[in-house]
Amino acid sequence: MKVAVVGATGLVGTKMLQILEERNFPVTKLFPVASERSVGKTIKFRGKRHKIISMDAAVGKKPDVAIFSAGGSVSKEWAPRFADRGTIVIDNSSAWRMDPEKKLVVPEVNAAVLTKMDKIIANPNCSTIQMVVALKPLHDKYGLKRIVVSTYQSVTGTGVKAVEQLMNERKGKTGVRAYPYQIDLNVLPHIDVFTENGYTKEEMKMVNETKKIMGDDNIRVTATTVRVPVIGGHSESVNVEFERDFDLAEVRSLLEKAPGVVVIDNPAELQYPMPLMAHDKDDVFVGRIRRDETQPNTLNMWVVSDNLRKGAATNAIQIAEYLLSVGILKLKVKKTATTV
């Protein structure tokens, strides 16, 4: 199994390497790929140093799977080149998510849509992933009608510069800036660029991706996405209206049994999900589960997950694991000569 990790030196790429190792994904040959300025440097994986190579060199290696986290423009240019050589590409950027010819996949929700024909597979936006994992078992039972979501997103969702800006501000230092305003002791109701309708691209990603992943364009979604001074972990306040009424005990039971979901919901003991609790974990944590008393069939809940793991790296690797489990991605058995 030859595996390329594109963007191997970034926050998500580094996390991908960590998770490939943690989950014991069957990597026989690793090809870390990064920008030209990083080519020739090395990264550590499973106790060994691996030399970073260029995009051209990686394409020539014909990896079985290439996991991308290098930005939309890079993915647009290079993912088809890998795919043309027979490589299955799992892309973490927004480049292919809404392409009608490409699948947008969260394994716990819609892995079954994948076929042998899919050579470029899109990994959804981090805030969308954790929300649909929590909503999938409830949608199956009660039918999603309308979602109102407000997010509280970590600076790691922006990248290394955003983390540096936050830490510099806490130390009273000047330095690189990822945001137009101070982020420490502040919140920014602005993630990605604003669009003509007054929503940001991040908000519209949540709207459009949710419909595509759930396979239902009739679900109404509205979002407000906010950047908060937290290092690691996105939180979401989700208000969801269903087609049918629900029982709260049954809701909790459905969530407790759902793959990838952990319920922490005991207000009497002040137990509820928080970003610190989700740090370096692959689960989606759900709490503050309660009925919206202002209208029928409507639920409030609080959803938290590690955005670099389940929101990006882990989800991508889970897609690769699914492809292996159903035989779309196959381990090659090396034949050895025998003498009689």
Same domain, 61 and 13: yes
Whether residue 283 sits in one domain with residue 246: yes
Q: Is residue 104 part of a domain?
A: no
Domain membership flag for residue 117: no
Number of compact structural domains in the chain: 2
DSSP 117-143: T--EEEPPPHHHHHHHHHHHHHHHHH-
The answer to whether residue 59 sits within a structural domain is yes
| pLDDT over 50 at 110, yes or no | yes
Q: Is 126 a catalytic residue?
A: yes
Contacts of residue 98, defined as CB under 8 A and 6 or more positions apart, other chains included, come to: 104, 208, 209, 212
Q: Is the pLDDT of residue 333 over 80?
A: no
Q: Identify whether 280 is part of a domain.
A: yes
Q: Point out the catalytic residue in the list 50, 126, 139, 279.
A: 126
User: Residue 264 is part of which domain span?
Assistant: 127-306
| Backbone torsions φ then ψ of 14, nearest 5 degrees | -60, -40
Please tell me what DSSP assigns to residue 188.
B
Residue 340 domain flag: no
| Candidate list 50, 139, 234, 279, residue with the active-site label | 234
Q: Are residues 170 and 298 in the same domain?
A: yes
Q: By C-alpha distance, which of 96, 72, 102 is closest to 6?
A: 72
**Rounded (to 5) percent helix, strand, coil in the chain:** 35, 25, 40
Q: Specify whether 273 is located in the same domain as 318.
A: no
Region 300-312: what's the mean pLDDT?
98
Q: How far apart are CA 313 and CA 16, in angstroms?
A: 5
The verdict on whether 50 is a catalytic residue reads no
Q: What is the dihedral of CA 288, 291, 292, 294, to 10 degrees?
A: -150
Residue 227 in this model has a pLDDT that exceeds 50:
yes
Residue 233 has pLDDT above 70, yes or no: yes
What is the rounded average pLDDT of the residues 43-55?
A: 96
Alpha-carbon separation of residue 152 from 102, 156, 171, 315 (angstroms): 29, 12, 23, 20
Indicate if the pLDDT at residue 338 is higher than 60: no
Distance, in Å, from the CA atom of 93 to the CA atom of 71, rounded to the nearest integer, reads 5
- The confidence band for 331, taking pLDDT boundaries of 50, 70 and 90, is confident
pLDDT 10s digits, 169-204: 999 999 999 999 999 999 999 999 999 999 999 999
According to the model, what pLDDT value does residue 335 have?
A: 58
pLDDT at 340 exceeding the cut of 50: no
Give the Cα-Cα-Cα angle 242, 303, 325 (nearest 5 degrees): 90
pLDDT digits (tens, 9 = 90+) for 144-160: 999 999 999 999 999 99
